[in-house]
Amino acid sequence: MTKVDFYTGVNDKLQTACLLSHKAMQNGMRVLLHTPDESTAEQLNKLLWEFSATAFIPHCLCGDEAAAEMPVIIGHQREPFPHSELLISLHSVSLPFFSRFERVIEIVSQETEDAKAGRERYGFYRERGYEMRHFDLSKR
């Protein structure tokens, strides 16, 4: 069954997604960063190139020819995806295909509307019995 982690209280969802992708990649996991739209996907793509001067994150957009080989891919559309290890969602709703992945990370900002949507997603997973963990990044 899919395991779900919530990272709440973040200042910058895209930066947090980059950081978590890098950490997952270092642990040998393949990552799908799923964004709500093409514009956010492009922003994230650019940010991953500039993420760190000392830490390269090999990545591409989901539709690229190299997607099957990359440890990190960025998508904004529905399936097919080249793997089902880790889904990092940047959406305000639970994605209909989340259970295909071994693990899901939900990132929730400190903004009122996003925090409210995050609580709703948390309840969605809890009601369905998914194993969940919570990391409050506002306390760091």
C-alpha span between 57 and 37 (Å, rounded):
21
Q: What are phi and psi of 127, to 5 degrees?
A: -60, -25
Tens place of pLDDT for every residue, the chain, 140 residues? 999 999 999 999 999 999 999 999 999 999 999 999 999 999 999 999 988 777 789 999 998 999 999 999 999 987 778 899 999 999 999 999 999 999 999 999 999 999 999 999 999 999 999 999 999 999 76
Query: If we measure between CA atoms, which residue out of 21, 36, 17 comes closest to residue 76?
Result: 36
Token representation of residue 131: 């194993």
HSE (side-chain half, CA atoms, 13 Å) at 63: 6
**What is the structure's pLDDT at 44?**
96
**What is the structure's pLDDT at 72?**
96
- 68-95 in b/e form (b: 16+ CB < 10 A) is eebbbbbbbeeeebebbebbbbbbeebb
**What is the structure's pLDDT at 118?**
97
Query: What count of other Cβ atoms lies within 10 Å of the Cβ of residue 59?
Result: 23
HSE (side-chain half, CA atoms, 13 Å) at 82: 22
**What is the structure's pLDDT at 79?**
72
C-alpha span between 120 and 127 (Å, rounded):
11
All domains of the chain in start order, with CATH: 3-139 (3.40.50.10110)
